[in-house]
Chain A
Amino acid sequence: MMSFFNLPEYLQYSVVFLCLVTLVINIYCVVSCVIFEAQRRKLNLNLLLTAFTSVLFYLFASANFVYRKSIKGHSLLLDIFSEYGWAFMALLALLSVLSVLSLYLVEKWKREHITPASIKEGIDRLPAGLCYHNEKGVPKLINHRMDGLCRYITGEPLFDGSEFWRRLTKGEVLPGNTVVKWGENPIITLSDGNTVSFTKIEREIGGRKMYEIRATDITKQYGLNLELQEYNNELRSLNTRLQEYGENVYDITREREILTAKVNIHDMLGKALLVTKRFIESGDESITKAELTDMWKATLYLFEGGFKESSEDGSLDELYDAAKLMGINLTVKGQIPSDNRLLRFIMSGARESLTNAVHHAKATELTVTLYYEYSFFVIEYTNDGRRPSKPISEGGGLSSLRQSVESEGGIMETEIFPRFVLRLKIPSKEVSYV
């Protein structure tokens, strides 16, 4: 029979080393099974293998040690190894094969199953930051990105999820970082120029309430948003300028109309001169004296009074004339604004008031009072006629007036006691007076 001690020394050490390696493999498999919650059968098998290998390693190591040091009192161990050394080596070989096989199965299982470690590894690779914490703020899972963000923003590792969230929502960040938005969905521009948006969601995991804090890099979107805002501001200013321009377009058109009228007058004058010349020189009978007279009458009419362009208060003159025509004595109290927008409202309201004063109130006096109250320009119409016996039912004129006043952000009021009042309150950007 082959004795263990008859083997060359290096082989003896090799056997002990093989035993140690097998033991390490077994321990690794046991730890893997515990950490990754592998099947119980695999854990039991590996525990058994570990136990056997441990005993074997102890025996081999002890026998070798005793044999080398010639320690007395261990003759039985040496005898057993001398007699049955081959059997122990065969057992070791078997255990080694089984251990390698077990290692293969454990690694294969790890590769084929999602384990907590693989989840951690997965979320660590996410470009977004992620943190799960319980109601007390104790973090249960944090990825590298979120931990890095917490250090960047607060200067500390993420130890308390609730505290981290509080600081985010209150905008308590280290200098260098900029709080773009605080509150429910904080957005922070980090000192490295990246912009991160944070959200917090309550979740129920395994029957327990958990909180998920998520950080998303929105640097690109934020940059685009800033560009868009800038573009929108430009557009708004452009639109305002366009609207202001619209106010002047009538003047431009009128200039064109005046030019056309000038051309017509020039033509009329030229025609009258030509026809007169022909009439005098050749005695053209196709033209009567009456026609010639009419022609000159019309031409001269244009020059009689000259061309008086409308004055700023021209419309008010017409308002006085219209009132007089209706048999109403019109009185305007207060300063007349020069703003055409306000003048338009004065005229529109006056038209309705004149009609109502004549047809319903049988009035002879209409008073228009103009004054400035806070940010409103107020136009008040009252008459001396009969006051309505019941609340005013707004017909076409008044309802269309109300619509135009309200579309400008103004208020239209009517009162029937102690006398009838129509009041228009027009928001005044900046009131200037004639």
Chain B
Amino acid sequence: MYNVMVVEDQAMPRQLFEAFIAMSDRYTLVHSIKNADMADIYCEKTDIDLILMDVCTELNSSGLDAAERIKAKHPEIKIIIVTSMPEVSYLERARKIGVDSFWYKEVSEEPILELMDRTMAGERIYPDKTPSVSFGYIKSTDLSEREIAILREVIGGDTNAQIAEKLNMSPYTVRDYVKSIMEKTGFRTRTELAVKAREMGIIIPERKN
């Protein structure tokens, strides 16, 4: 039997995970918490083998930050990141941190229990790419890395000049990129572009603390 901790702030998805664990005779639920900030504390005194970790948890605490702290102190604990956000940077960051597996709540076809079994068997399972969601006239995956980087700053509420300074580009180039993204997606204003990108979860701004 493996001891599992669920870190998920929303009751319904959390209880769904708990139900899957209850269905299985290979896993025991030891903790089910809502705030990722507390996850590493729970790992201090409890023997945990596997964590199902959401990315955006209560008080906007980051599951990826928590995973990084836990992996630094307890590399033996397996972590599966579970998210519904198609944010491109999550996959990359999870790999960098050393997270064992990554599961998209809405689109991953593999049942979560099967993913848990394979992860505990030592496999690292990652989706090939982030889920593609409609973004105006295009798909989110049609955006280039540079476009994503600029869009991320646009969402942060920065002006072209500020974005240019951050990304070491000319303000005119930034303006052209923003214009090009708007033309491709069909969004008429910068605000509409930013709001849709956030709503669709294509880009989730990092919280400050």
Residues of A within 8 A of B (CB): 232, 235, 238-243, 245-246, 249-250, 252-254, 256-258, 260-262, 264-265, 268, 294-295, 297-299, 301-302, 305, 307-310, 314-315, 318-319, 321-322, 325-327, 340-341, 343-345, 347-348, 351, 354-355, 358, 396-397, 401, 404-405, 407-408
Given contacts A249-B199, A299-B19, contact A318 B11 (CB under 8 A): no
Please name all residues of chain A whose beta carbon is closer than 8 Å to the beta carbon of B138 when the two chains form the complex. none
CB pair B15 A246 closer than 8 Å: no
Q: Mark B5-35, 1 if CB is under 8 A from A, else 0.
A: 0000111110110111011000000000111
A407→B191 CA distance, assembly (Å)? 25
Interface of chain B residues 181 through 196 with chain A (CB within 8 A): 190-191, 194-195
CB pair A355 B44 closer than 8 Å: yes
A301→B16 CA distance, assembly (Å)? 9
B157 interfacial contact with A, CB 8 Å: yes
B164 interfacial contact with A, CB 8 Å: no
Given contacts A240-B157, A347-B38, A408-B208, contact A298 B20 (CB under 8 A): yes
A243→B157 CA distance, assembly (Å)? 6
Chain B CB count within 10 A is highest, among A242, A264, A298, for A242
CB pair B209 A408 closer than 8 Å: yes
The 8 A-B residue pairs whose C-beta atoms are closest, nearest first, are: A404-B209, A239-B157, A261-B12, A298-B23, A322-B41, A298-B19, A242-B157, A243-B157
Given contacts A258-B10, A301-B19, contact A239 B60 (CB under 8 A): no
6 residue pairs A–B, Cβ–Cβ below 8 Å: A239-B157, A250-B60, A250-B204, A314-B58, A318-B35, A347-B37
Given contacts A239-B157, A258-B13, A310-B10, contact A351 B23 (CB under 8 A): no
Known: A301-B19, A307-B15, A322-B41. 18 other contacts (CB 8 A): A246-B156, A246-B157, A249-B198, A254-B10, A262-B12, A265-B16, A297-B22, A298-B20, A299-B19, A307-B12, A310-B11, A322-B38, A326-B41, A340-B60, A344-B61, A348-B37, A354-B41, A405-B209
B129 interfacial contact with A, CB 8 Å: no
Please name all residues of chain B whose beta carbon is closer than 8 Å to the beta carbon of A351 when the two chains form the complex. 37-38, 40-41
What's the least CB distance linking B80 to chain A, in Å? 16
CB pair A315 B16 closer than 8 Å: no
A404→B62 CA distance, assembly (Å)? 13
CB pair A347 B23 closer than 8 Å: no
With both beta carbons as reference points, the residue of chain B lying nearest to A407 in the complex is identified as B208
Secondary structure dominating the interface of B: helix
Please name all residues of chain B whose beta carbon is closer than 8 Å to the beta carbon of A265 when the two chains form the complex. 12, 16
CB pair A301 B18 closer than 8 Å: yes
B201 interfacial contact with A, CB 8 Å: yes
Give the residue of B59, B159, B198, B207 whose beta carbon is less than 8 angstroms from that of A245: B198
Give the residue of A232, A249, A258, A294 whose beta carbon is less than 8 angstroms from that of B23: A294
B127 interfacial contact with A, CB 8 Å: no
Given contacts A250-B56, A298-B23, contact A261 B16 (CB under 8 A): yes
A299→B34 CA distance, assembly (Å)? 22
Please name all residues of chain B whose beta carbon is closer than 8 Å to the beta carbon of A260 when the two chains form the complex. 13, 84, 105-106
Chain B CB count within 10 A is highest, among A245, A294, A302, A322, for A322
Please name all residues of chain B whose beta carbon is closer than 8 Å to the beta carbon of A256 when the two chains form the complex. 84, 106, 201
B180 interfacial contact with A, CB 8 Å: no
Given contacts A254-B9, A265-B12, A404-B208, contact A322 B158 (CB under 8 A): no
What's the least CB distance linking B29 to chain A, in Å? 10
CB pair B11 A308 closer than 8 Å: yes
Q: Mark B32-69, 1 if CB is under 8 A from A, else 0.
A: 01110110111011100000000010111100000001
A358→B191 CA distance, assembly (Å)? 48
CB pair A309 B207 closer than 8 Å: no
What's the least CB distance linking A356 to chain B, in Å? 12
Please name all residues of chain A whose beta carbon is closer than 8 Å to the beta carbon of B56 when the two chains form the complex. 250, 253-254
CB pair B199 A252 closer than 8 Å: yes
CB pair A239 B158 closer than 8 Å: yes
Chain A CB count within 10 A is highest, among B85, B190, B208, for B208
Please name all residues of chain A whose beta carbon is closer than 8 Å to the beta carbon of B122 when the two chains form the complex. none
Given contacts A295-B23, A310-B10, contact A242 B209 (CB under 8 A): no
B88 interfacial contact with A, CB 8 Å: no
Please name all residues of chain B whose beta carbon is closer than 8 Å to the beta carbon of A341 when the two chains form the complex. 209
CB pair B45 A326 closer than 8 Å: yes
CB pair B59 A344 closer than 8 Å: yes
CB pair A340 B44 closer than 8 Å: no
Please name all residues of chain B whose beta carbon is closer than 8 Å to the beta carbon of A358 when the two chains form the complex. 44
Please name all residues of chain A whose beta carbon is closer than 8 Å to the beta carbon of B23 when the two chains form the complex. 294-295, 297-298
